Structure 1
Amino acid sequence: MKRDRASTTAEGMAIVRAIETSRSPARRLLDDPVSVRLVRSAQVAMSRFVIDSGLYARFFGVGVIEFILLRERFIDDVLALRLREGLDQVVLLGAGFDTRALRIPGIEGTRVFLVDHPVTQAFVRARFERTLGPLPGHVVFVGVDFETQGLALRLRDAGFDARGRTMFVWQGVTMYLSRSAVDETLAFVAAHAARGSTVIFDYFYEDVLFDPANRFARRIRAVTSAIGEGLSFALARGAVDVFLTSRGFEGVVNVDAFGLRALYFTGGHVRREVADGAAIVFARVRGGHQES
Structure 2
Amino acid sequence: MAWGLIREMGHVSIQTNDIEGSIFDATQLLGLRVTERTGNEVYLAANSVHHELAYVESEVNGIHSLGLIAQDGDALREIRKRVADENFKIVSETPVSLGVQDGFSFIGPEGWIFEVYSGMQNNDRGLLSFGPDRYGHINFHPRDVRSMMEFLRRIFDFRLSDVIGDDFAYFMRCNPDHHGIALIKGQGTFHHHAWQVQSIGDLAKLGDRLGAAGRELIWGPVRHGAGHNIAAYYVETSGAVVELYTDLEQIYDDERDPVIWGEDENWWNMWSNRRTEDFRTFGIPTVTELKTFI
Provide the TM-score with structure 1 as the length reference: 0.30
Instruction: Give the structure with the higher percent helix.
Output: 1
**Structure with the largest fraction of strand:** 2
Q: TM-score, normalised by structure 2?
A: 0.30
